[in-house]
Chains A and B, each alone.
Chain A
Amino acid sequence: MSNGETALKHHHAHHFASADDEFEASKQGMWIFLVTEVLMFGGLFVAYGILKGLYPEMVHEAHKLLAVKMGAINTVVLITSSLTMALAVSSTQKGQRDRAIVYLVMTFLFACCFLVVKYFEYSAKFHHGLLPGANFTNEELKDPKSALFFSLYFMMTGLHGIHVLIGMGVIAWVLRRTIRGEFGPNFYTPVELVGFYWHFVDLVWIYLFPLLYLVG
């Protein structure tokens, strides 16, 4: 187990007074970024609330067609991935590089798993003509406005899915750098920030699941 040469010798950028200052600044920047993400998803949540208020029966009937089991499995998958991500961060802080690698790989695989389940869910929806807006062809649902529910469903889970994909990208990036031994107790900013981001992605799903699949 090694901390890696570069981790011990991490030089902070020239415009910061110390590596600590740089770390604090990076964390603050990430928090602010996450605030912007909250507001972006916030728009969709408001749209959901408004449409549910306008057409409560339609939303209730339409939501019954979502696969609660698959959603529940994905919820467990994502929560577990948040745990492995947190463990990856703490392993890096302690200088346990091999463990950190294992945890990052696990997080990455959980993310894959989430998207595979999502793929099966989406295919089933397409198959039954449960498409957003004007492309809606399902005949099971009587209310013609049911298409709106699926517009929201695909917009919300789709935007979240894109975030999962980006998450996989950045997890792979810190994994690669961890393997190269670039992080250790003295420098682990990217791992920590990717962790922040991943927990956020997880948290969005924690809201999406009950709102779409359970409450209806």
Chain B
Amino acid sequence: MAHQSAVAHTGDNYLNHSKGLMSWLTTLDHKRIGVMYLFSVLSFFLVGGVFALLIRLELYKSGVQIVDANAYNRFFTYHGAIMVFLVIIPSIPAALGNFILPIILGAKDVAFPRLNLLSYYIFMIGATFAVAALFLRGADTGWTFYTPYSIRTNTTVILVLTGAFIAGFSSILTGLNFIVTIHKLRAPGLSWSRLPLFCWALYATSIIQVLATPVLAITLLLLIMERLFHIGIFDPKLGGDPILFQHFFWFYSHPAVYIMILPAMGIISEVIPVFCRKPMFGYKAIAYSSFGIALIAFIVWGHHMFVSGQSELANFVFSLLTMFVAVPTGVKVFSWVGTMYKGSIHFYAPMLYVFGFLELFTIGGLTGVFLATLAIDVHLTQTYFVVAHFHYVMVGGTLMALMAGLHYWFPKMTGRMYPERPAQISFWLILIGFNVTFLPQFVLGAQGMPRRYWTYLPEFTFLNRMSTVGSWFIGLGFFYAAYYFYQGMRYGKKAGPNPWNALTLEWQTPSPPPHENFIETPVVTSWPYEYLPENITMQGNS
């Protein structure tokens, strides 16, 4: 975008605009709400991560290491529920999206700032319920709450259900807010065909949030009623249908997988052209394929139920439809690679994480096609192969992109650069640690080791031990990242408005941005990925 805002920096920014704790807790500024989301999500990431490390520690050897079977069931339930509902789903849209979306659109705020703050508090109330269960009798159903076990177990599953139910409304309100924001608050000249790909991705995500989450709400509500009043709709003892629960649950939770991955793809699409100094290849294809993915998301839920007693025909149709997901996903991956081709690639941390994403997400995506294949799925379902597959997608996809986005926008959010060298070391720790942890799990799964068990047969010991050691490297990498991010925030060198020499609007305003984002409303005159020979250089972070 050729627009150059008058950077008459007065020193006023969103961080120092008003002071004190109350000014944060009652803020309507999307940037501050984004930052509050970010810190909350990262805290929950720590909790979920500690449970992950404990799970791996228990599996270091067969037999009891640190906990017994019951405690282990609670551990993987917490790990799953916290990571899904409190970390990965809100991470990119609610935290980075809230901060970046209005600025990248050239707007002063989201369409409904009060609703935005409300959705943060709803999220925190939901999270409080879920975390409160930790201190009571816990929950041991897994994050999927399958009936009839979830009706009978005497753990405090109701608190976790209530927590997820409430947090869901926050997700709905964020989605609603973003859709209206993208429709109504684009800067003058920012036509749909010039819309940055992060916005396209968030738009598609928001549609899924708005359409799928209410179904989860009613499902969880029915399950809560099931536990409170034994209404029997999902309870076979009373004539209800437990498979109906699975249909309802996956009608939300499969699209939810795309709530997690689509915004991640949006970040990747922003980072690649900037760090390759090349116009985006296949802009329209990437934009539209997000909607292709969102559409298919709603018609593939049955692939979670191949062995649940669905009809053969349903299995066949769901299997076929699931494979179609690979098409728009492939369109994206090839467009990204096409953008890199003959580009001038700068290997700063955001770009490294993009490479991490491409490697891990491709493995995760392709193993998804294995699992979509009926005959193979019957062998692999409920094994560690599935665990490895979705960790490659969720961690390898979403978390890698989140890290890419955090490094990319860190200068914008804090006004300072993160230290580059520690970032690169941490990246390699995480990437290598991740592969050491999860590649063996593909093998374990193919050999038949079932998921969700607290112990295993002795012949699985070596690969499990490898997996556990890998998890320490991931942990180390993330702790190191927390440390150098803090260092960068305190002592990093001043970033200036546009250290990456990027063309999207958020870089055309001071870092950190002023209270109203821009000193004067920007006017957009060109496409955001027009990297021409004259602006091919990058100041970078050395």
Question: A-side interface residues toward B, CB under 8 Å?
Answer: 13-16, 21, 24-25, 28-29, 32-33, 35-37, 39-44, 46-47, 50-51, 54-55, 132-135, 144-145, 147-148, 151-152, 154-155, 159
Contact = CB atoms under 8 A, between A and B. Distances in A.
Interface stretch (B79-87, B194-202, B222-230, B267-275): B222-230
B387 interface: no
A44 B210 CA distance: 17
A32 B230 contact: no
B136 interface: no
5 contacts: A15-B108, A42-B215, A43-B218, A133-B230, A155-B231
A40 B211 CA distance: 9
Given A39-B214, A39-B215, A55-B239, A29 B231 contact: no
Given A14-B516, A133-B229, A32 B244 contact: no
A25 B180 contact: yes
Contact of A54 (B109, B183, B230, B241): B241
Given A32-B179, A43-B248, A144-B239, A25 B184 contact: yes
A14 B108 contact: yes
B108 A40 contact: no
Given A36-B213, A39-B214, A43-B218, A155 B239 contact: no
A134 B214 contact: no
Contacts of A145: 238-239
A33 B209 CA distance: 11
Nearest to A48: B233
A147 B112 CA distance: 44
B241 A135 contact: no
A151 B233 contact: yes
B180 A133 contact: no
B496 interface: no
A51 B219 CA distance: 15
A132 B231 contact: yes
B232 interface: yes
A43 B215 contact: yes
Given A36-B172, A54-B241, A44 B218 contact: yes
Contacts of B183: 25, 28
A7 B195 CA distance: 36
Contacts of A16: 184-185
Nearest to A35: B210
B330 interface: no
B167 interface: no
Nearest to A47: B233
B232 A148 contact: yes
A135 B230 contact: yes
B109 to A, nearest CB: 4
Contacts of A40: 214-215, 217-218
A32 B210 contact: yes
B107 interface: yes
Contact of A148 (B115, B238, B516): B238
7 cross-chain pairs, A with B, having the tightest CB-CB distances, nearest first: A134-B230, A43-B218, A145-B239, A151-B231, A15-B108, A40-B214, A133-B232
B176 interface: yes
Interface in B149-185: 172, 176-177, 179-180, 183-185
B111 interface: yes
A14 B248 CA distance: 41
A51 B185 CA distance: 45
Contacts of B185: 15-16, 25
Nearest to A158: B225
Interface in B464-510: none
B338 interface: no
Which of B115, B172, B176 has the most CB atoms of chain A within a 10 A radius of its CB? Answer: B176
B113 A15 contact: yes
B189 interface: no
A32 B180 contact: yes
B240 interface: yes
A132 B232 contact: yes
B232 A33 contact: no
A172 B241 CA distance: 41
A41 B218 CA distance: 7
A29 B232 contact: no
A148 B241 CA distance: 11
B210 A29 contact: no
Contacts of A135: 229-230
A25 to B, nearest CB: 4
Contacts of A43: 214-215, 218-219, 222, 248
A57 B193 CA distance: 56
Nearest to B211: A39
A5 B366 CA distance: 64
B232 A147 contact: yes
A14 B111 CA distance: 10
Nearest to B239: A145
A41 B109 CA distance: 32
Contact of A133 (B110, B176, B211, B231): B231
Contacts of B108: 14-15
A147 B179 CA distance: 42
B211 A15 contact: no
